[in-house]
Amino acid sequence: MTTATQTIEQLAGQKYKYGFYTDIESDTAPAGLSEETIAFISHKKNEPDWLLEMRLKAYRHFITLTEPNWAKLSCKPIDLHSISYYSAPKSKADGPKTLDEVDPKLLETYEKLGIPLNEQKVLAGVVAVDAVFDSVSVATTFKGKLKELGVIFCSFSEAVQEYPDLVRKYMGSVVPHTDNYFAALNSAVFTDGSFVFVPKGVKCPMELSTYFRINEMNTGQFERTLIVAEEGATVSYLEGCTAPMRDENQMHAAVVELVALERANIKYSTVQNWYPGDEEGRGGIYNFVTKRGICKGNDSKISWTQVETGSAVTWKYPSVILRGDRSVGEFYSVAVTNNCQQADTGTKMIHIGKDTRSNIVSKGISAGRSNNSYRGLVQVNRGASNARNYTQCDSMLMGNSCGAHTFPYIDVRNQTGKVEHEATTTKIGEDQIFYLQSRGISDEDAVAMIVNGFCREVLAELPMEFAVEAQKLLSISLEGSVG
Amino acid sequence: MLEIKGLKAQIEGNEILHGLNLTVNPGEVHAIMGPNGSGKSTLARVIAGSEDYEVTGGDILFEGESILELAPDERAQKGLFMAFQYPVEIPGVSNTYFLRQALNSIRKARGLEELTGKEFLAHAREKARLVELPDDLLKRSVNVGFSGGEKKRNEIFQMAVLEPKFSILDETDSGLDIDALRIVANGVNKLRGSDRSIVVVTHYQRLLQYIVPDVVHVLVDGRIAKTGGKELAEQLEEVGYSWVNGEMKTAQTANA
Ligand SMILES: Nc1ncnc2c1ncn2[C@@H]1O[C@H](COP(=O)(O)OP(=O)(O)OP(=O)(O)O)[C@@H](O)[C@H]1O
Ligand SMILES: [Mg+2]
């Protein structure tokens, strides 16, 4: 018997050990991280045994690891034992009672984004979704339509209950729990997220998640998302909310997996705007995300687009494994840092199949005392003949106290591979601002216009309604960055 | 319309304008000529409100009110315009988008209704014809990859779209071929009106054959050294600035 099977057997034998939690009425997990905590979460979520085993396996691996420090970030170590790993959906009683209790700065931002008052209340946590929207019926009509086509779009927890075989087949197949520190942690303690399945030959007729803009929040700090597109299927998924959310969580460690079979096409767009901390760098979210897609079948395509303006610390490298021949991977990114924010983001393109192509466009904008790094790997394996990569990395600096860094790693093991890398660094020009101002445009609008122009190629990749909000967001996050 | 009194301005501690006086009445077209480095662009940029310069004396009045405390965008909203000697490139921002934002900011500041995309486009197309600006330059990023002449033409196009009350054109004729010069001059002439004033900064008498000025000034060493009618430009063309210089020196010695 191999040691792996032994472990599984052992685990299988252990499972009833946690049965005693049935009697516990509490809605919050025992403090700290332990096998008990994990069993508690799994039990609360009524998960099948194999999933609990997966979690425990991940946990046992996790405790052998130490937190990585190779990214160009400096942040306080996180005390994993002070976090609560499970609490029932936030009850209204915990939140602010009226908009008056909400940080006025947050409200000001909502105003600028043009978010209707009712929606503001939901985002700030003053009222629950159903108090404002007839979300249930929206969701039902929407789901009905998708169901006709065989498209599954639901929460991860629901998928575990309703489609366990699909979840079991694909979960962890792109990001195994052994991948990295945060992926291991997530695999052990993840709470919820989204699940999308588009069957063979189906083109999903709508952008998934727009209707769920509000509903999809509060998925917790350890989010898990899985998207599978079968042969010839097409889907565009939008993650996140363009409005900043009231959120007490300190750390987010999500895992997102995408699987594209033959001729499938997955487009994944993110606008991330979590609390970045104040001007002095107090508070703010630590955002450690593992996002990866696999172009498993021939002629498949995965495209990541991200606009990252929030979080105190961002550590994120959406990647594509180009396994299928002629498969295509794309990464379009805008990362904005202001005040004391730190972002270390980029992508990995792993060329395995023949005639595979990847395209990377990264735009980093740094202001204040912030630091913004692009870190990217382009790897062409021995069998990947005629692989092509084009990388363009542009940085824009505002002021003299911020930093922009580029770390391109290139690893080509096949002589027919062609990898191109271009990088530029520009300073936002006083003369550009003066030019626009002399035409009647305010200095803040001028900066927004110059920055949006700088990011145009990336913003053009976003679905229309997202693009407009993302543009407003960029200017809001850079407010006060020009004297 | 515009009244400049004893204007002193410096950049990085170097005084460039040493007490300059200039009055432009509504409906007038003035020309400013003068040797390289005499301060013509400095004057234009100080009027437009560039923060590179510090005004250390005097005042600039627009329609009777001092504008020194106003930011460049506030000045534009009041109806001032400068055509840049070296227009600036803004990558990724389309000319049309930029100008629509500009016009709408100005309209908003004046309490006017903002123009919709369609309304603006109609307005812009009409003005583009005025300076014979090719359609594709409307769509392209602001000044990016424009030839020198196209950039200059784009400045006058902007002026036509924004319809300012007072404009100062800094060497808009430099770099234009003969046909373009005529087109631009025609455009400017069509923008002349009893309620508008224009100052053209130029090195060449040739432009003034097309845009006939009411008044010509010679700017030397940060001051208006001589003012006259359009014949002054012709005289300058013949004898050069040394003549004005000489006259100035004599005047200065006489004063001393
Ligand atoms: N940062 C600076 N520090 C010192 N002197 C400066 C600075 N910038 C400009 N100057 C000087 O100011 C003077 C006036 O320049 P300006 O551009 O106004 O001249 P101009 O009359 O427009 O010349 P041209 O006909 O060549 O366009 C020049 O001598 C120039 O060198
Ligand atoms: Mg000049």
**Which residue, by CA, sits nearest to atom 31 of ligand 1?**
B37
**For residue A84, what are its two tokens?**
């609560």
Q: Is residue A188 part of a domain?
A: yes
- Tell me what the mean pLDDT of segment B105-124 comes to: 94
Cβ neighbours of B10 (radius 10 Å): 17
Question: Torsion-angle region of residue B86: left (phi > 0), alpha (psi -120 to 50) or beta?
Answer: beta
**For residue A341, what are its two tokens?**
């924010």
Using CB atoms, which residue from A432, A440, A457 is nearest to B90?
Answer: A432
**Closest of A157, A258, A245, A239 to residue A198, by C-alpha:** A258
B contacts of A437 (beta carbons < 8 Å)? 49, 71-73, 76
Nearest CA in chain A to B79: A440
Q: Which pLDDT score is estimated for A247?
A: 59
Q: Is residue A483 part of a domain?
A: no
Edge-to-edge strands, sheet with B166-170: B80-83, B166-170, B197-201, B29-33, B215-220, B223-228
The larger pLDDT score, comparing residue A137 to residue B194, is at B194
Q: Cα–Cα–Cα angle for B51, B55, B56, nearest 5°? A: 145
CA distance A432 to chain B (A): 6
Q: Over 70: is that where the pLDDT of A290 sits?
A: yes
How far, in Å, are A112, A124, A415, B39 from residue A117 at the CA level? 12, 10, 59, 54
Q: B222 CB less than 6 Å from ligand 1?
A: no
CA distance A329 to A377: 13
Q: Is residue A482 part of a domain?
A: no
Spell out a b/e string for A388-422, using b for 16 or more CB atoms within 10 Å of the CB, else e. Answer: bbebebbbbbbbeebbbebebeeebeeeebebeee
Please give the mean pLDDT across all residues of chain A.
Answer: 80
Please give the mean pLDDT across all residues of chain B.
Answer: 91
**Closest of A141, A140, A163 to residue A152, by C-alpha:** A163
pLDDT (tens digit per residue) in B74-102? 999 999 999 999 999 999 999 999 999 99
Q: Which of A13-27, A32-46, B189-203 has the lowest mean pLDDT?
A: A13-27
**For residue A372, what are its two tokens?**
């913004």
CA distance A418 to A351: 11
- Tell me what the mean pLDDT of segment A429-450 comes to: 92
* Structural domain that includes position A338: 2-477
CA distance A109 to A102: 12
CA distance A83 to B34: 73
**Which residue, by CA, sits nearest to atom 6 of ligand 1?**
B11
**For residue A98, what are its two tokens?**
């009226």
Contacts 24+ apart (CB under 8 A), A85-91: A85/A29, A85/A33, A85/A37, A85/A38, A85/A41, A85/A189, A85/A191, A85/A222, A86/A28, A86/A29, A86/A37, A86/A40, A86/A41, A86/A44, A86/A189, A86/A191, A87/A27, A87/A28, A87/A29, A88/A27, A88/A28, A89/A218, A90/A125, A90/A218
Ion ligand 2 residue ranges (Cβ < 5 Å): B 40-41, 85
Using CB atoms, which residue from B52, B81, B98 is nearest to A449?
Answer: B98
In contact, B192 and B29? CB cutoff 8 Å: yes
H runs (alpha helix) in A63-180: 104-113, 117-123, 129-132, 135-149, 156-162, 164-170
Nearest CA in chain B to A483: B51
**Closest of A323, A351, A347, A322 to residue A335, by C-alpha:** A347
- Tell me what the mean pLDDT of segment B166-188 comes to: 91
- With an 8 Å Cβ cutoff, is B122 touching chain A? no
pLDDT band at A380 (very low <50, low <70, confident <90, very high): very high
Q: Which of A162-166, A332-336, A435-439 has the lowest mean pLDDT?
A: A332-336
Q: B221 CB less than 6 Å from ligand 1?
A: no
In contact, A297 and A231? CB cutoff 8 Å: yes
- With an 8 Å Cβ cutoff, is B29 touching chain A? no
Q: How far apart are the first and last CA of chain B?
A: 34
Inter-chain residue contact A434 with B50, CB threshold 8 Å: yes
**Closest of A190, A203, A192 to residue A151, by C-alpha:** A203
Inter-chain residue contact A438 with B103, CB threshold 8 Å: no
**Total CB pairs under 8 A between chain A and B:** 81
CA distance A261 to A355: 17
**Closest of A55, A128, A57 to residue A90, by C-alpha:** A128
CA distance A269 to A236: 8
Domain range annotation of chain B = 2-255
- Tell me what the mean pLDDT of segment A298-314 comes to: 89
pLDDT band at A70 (very low <50, low <70, confident <90, very high): low
- With an 8 Å Cβ cutoff, is B65 touching chain A? no
Total domains, chain A: 1
In contact, A227 and A270? CB cutoff 8 Å: no
In contact, B27 and B194? CB cutoff 8 Å: yes
**Closest of B184, B82, B99, B103 to residue B141, by C-alpha:** B99
The larger pLDDT score, comparing residue A16 to residue B75, is at B75
Q: Which pLDDT score is estimated for A81?
A: 67
- Tell me what the mean pLDDT of segment A27-49 comes to: 81
A contacts of B109 (beta carbons < 8 Å)? 440
A contacts of B50 (beta carbons < 8 Å)? 434
In contact, A15 and A50? CB cutoff 8 Å: no
Q: B202 CB less than 6 Å from ligand 1?
A: no
H runs (alpha helix) in A403-442: 430-437
Whole-structure pTM value: 0.80
In contact, B35 and B56? CB cutoff 8 Å: no
pLDDT band at A91 (very low <50, low <70, confident <90, very high): very low
Instruction: Give percent of chain B above pLDDT 90.
Output: 74
pLDDT band at A379 (very low <50, low <70, confident <90, very high): very high
Q: Which pLDDT score is estimated for A108?
A: 74
**Homologous superfamily of the B2-255 domain (CATH):** P-loop containing nucleotide triphosphate hydrolases (3.40.50.300)
CA distance B128 to B138: 8
Q: Over 90: is that where the pLDDT of B33 sits?
A: yes
Kind and range of the H or E element at B180? helix B178-191
Q: Is residue A216 part of a domain?
A: yes
**Closest of B200, B206, B216 to residue B166, by C-alpha:** B200
A contacts of B90 (beta carbons < 8 Å)? 432, 435-436, 449-450, 453
CA distance B43 to B54: 12
Which of A334, A394, A437 is the best mutation test for B, with the most CBs of B within 10 A? A437
**Closest of B195, B207, B187 to residue B128, by C-alpha:** B187
pLDDT band at A309 (very low <50, low <70, confident <90, very high): confident
pLDDT (tens digit per residue) in A393-414? 999 988 788 888 888 999 999 9
- Tell me what the mean pLDDT of segment B105-118 comes to: 94
In contact, A298 and A326? CB cutoff 8 Å: yes
Q: What number is the ipTM of this complex?
A: 0.94
Q: B36 CB less than 6 Å from ligand 1?
A: yes
- Residues of chain A that touch chain B, judged by Cβ-Cβ distance less than 8 Å: 429-432, 434-443, 445-446, 449-450, 452-457
Q: Which pLDDT score is estimated for A265?
A: 97
Q: Over 80: is that where the pLDDT of A89 sits?
A: no
Q: Which pLDDT score is estimated for A123?
A: 67
Q: Which pLDDT score is estimated for B163?
A: 95
pLDDT band at A8 (very low <50, low <70, confident <90, very high): very low
